[in-house]
Amino acid sequence: MTTTLTTCPYCGVGCGISASTTDNSLDRQDLHIRGDDAHPANLGRLCVKGSALGQTMGTTGRLLQPQINGINCNWPKAINAVAEGLKQTIAQHGPGAVAMYLSGQLLTEDYYVANKLMKGFVGSPHVDTNSRLCMASTVAGHKRAFGADVVPGCYDDIEQARLFVLVGANMAWNHPVLFQRIQRVLQTKPTARLVVIDPRRTASCESAQLHLQLRPGSDVLLFNGLLSFLAEQGKLDHRFISLHTEGFAQALASAQLQAASIAQVAAGTDLPEAQVTKFYRWFADEQLSLTLFSQGVNQAMNGTDKVNAIINCHLATGRIGKAGAGPFSLTGQPNAMGGREVGGLANQLAAHIDYSNPAQQALVGQFWQAPNLAAAPGYKAVELFDAIERGEIKALWVMATNPVVSMPQADKVKAALAKCPLVIVSDIYQHTDTLDCATIKLPALAWSEKDGTVTNSERRISRQRALYSPPAGAKADWQIICEVANALGFTQGFNFSSAAEIFAEHAALSAFGNSAGDDKQKRAFDISGLAQLTAEQYQQLAPVQWPVNSANPFGTARLFSNGRFFTATGKAQFIAVRQCQFVEASAQTPLWLNSGRLRDQWHSMTRTGNVPRLMQHTPEPFVAIHPADAALYGIAAADLVQLRNRYGQLLLRAEISTDQRPGELFVPMHWSAQFASQARADVLFAADTDPLSGQPALKLGQVALRRV
Ligand code: SF4
Residues 316 and 237: beta-carbon distance below 8 Å? yes
The 71-72 sheet, strands edge to edge = 71-72, 67-68, 440-443, 422-427, 395-399, 98-102, 127-129
Atom of ligand 1 nearest to the CA of 8: 1
Domains of the chain by residue range:
2-56, 67-134+335-498, 136-330, 591-707
> Quick one: angle between helices 381-390 and 410-419, nearest 10?
50
140 lines ligand 1 (CB under 6 A): no
pLDDT of residue 397: 98
With respect to CATH, is domain 67-134+335-498 assigned 3.40.50.740?
yes
8 lines ligand 1 (CB under 6 A): yes
Domain at 591-707: CATH code:
2.40.40.20
Give the other-Cβ count within 10 Å of 701's Cβ: 25
Residues 209 and 194: beta-carbon distance below 8 Å? yes
pLDDT of residue 517: 52
Give the other-Cβ count within 10 Å of 569's Cβ: 12
136-330 CATH pick, 3.40.50.970, 3.40.30.10, 3.30.930.10, 3.40.228.10: 3.40.228.10
Tell me the CA–centroid distance for residue 174 and ligand 1, in Å.
Answer: 8
pLDDT tens by residue, 390-436: 999 999 999 999 999 999 999 999 999 999 999 999 999 999 999 99
Is beta strand 289-293 parallel, antiparallel or unpaired with respect to 163-167? parallel
Q: For residue 234, with 0-12 CB atoms within 10 Å meaning exposed, 13-18 middle and 19 or more buried, which class applies?
A: exposed
Q: Cα separation of 17 and 6, whole Å?
A: 5
Tell me the CA–centroid distance for residue 50 and ligand 1, in Å.
Answer: 5
pTM listed for this prediction: 0.96
Q: Closest Cα to atom 2, ligand 1: which residue?
A: 11
Atom of ligand 1 nearest to the CA of 35: 6
177 lines ligand 1 (CB under 6 A): yes
| Residues 6+ positions from 364 with CB-CB distance below 8 Å | 120, 349, 350, 351, 353, 370, 373, 509
For the chain, which ranges sit under pLDDT 50? none
pLDDT of residue 677: 78
pLDDT of residue 673: 84
Pocket test for ligand 1, best of 7, 15, 183 (most atoms within 8 A of CB): 15
ipTM: 1.00
Round to the nearest angstrom and report the end-to-end CA distance of the chain.
55
Angle at 247 between CA 241 and CA 249, to 5 degrees: 80
46 lines ligand 1 (CB under 6 A): yes
DSSP 8-state symbol, 122: I
260 three-class SS: coil
Give the other-Cβ count within 10 Å of 485's Cβ: 25
Pocket test for ligand 1, best of 17, 18, 49 (most atoms within 8 A of CB): 49
Tell me the CA–centroid distance for residue 155 and ligand 1, in Å.
Answer: 14
> Quick one: angle between helices 248-259 and 262-269, nearest 10?
70
Amino acid at 417: L
Q: Cα separation of 532 and 50, whole Å?
A: 32
Q: Cα separation of 663 and 656, whole Å?
A: 13
Q: Closest Cα to atom 4, ligand 1: which residue?
A: 15
CA of 104: how far to CAs of 109, 148, 424, 444, in Å?
12, 19, 18, 15
Residues 61 and 610: beta-carbon distance below 8 Å? yes
Atom of ligand 1 nearest to the CA of 51: 6
pLDDT of residue 538: 97
Residue 704: closest CA among 663, 676, 668: 663
Residues 678 and 643: beta-carbon distance below 8 Å? no
Q: Which CATH architecture has domain 2-56?
A: 2-Layer Sandwich (3.30)
337 three-class SS: helix
Residues 435 and 425: beta-carbon distance below 8 Å? yes
Angle at 456 between CA 424 and CA 604, to 5 degrees: 45
Furthest C-alpha separation in the chain: 71
Atom of ligand 1 nearest to the CA of 602: 8
Q: Cα separation of 280 and 643, whole Å?
A: 38
Pocket test for ligand 1, best of 17, 45, 177 (most atoms within 8 A of CB): 177
> Quick one: angle between helices 262-269 and 273-285, nearest 10?
120
Atom of ligand 1 nearest to the CA of 13: 7
Q: Which helix (H) or strand (E) holds 157?
A: helix 157-160
Q: Cα separation of 391 and 402, whole Å?
A: 21
pLDDT of residue 676: 83
172 lines ligand 1 (CB under 6 A): no
Pocket test for ligand 1, best of 7, 11, 617 (most atoms within 8 A of CB): 11
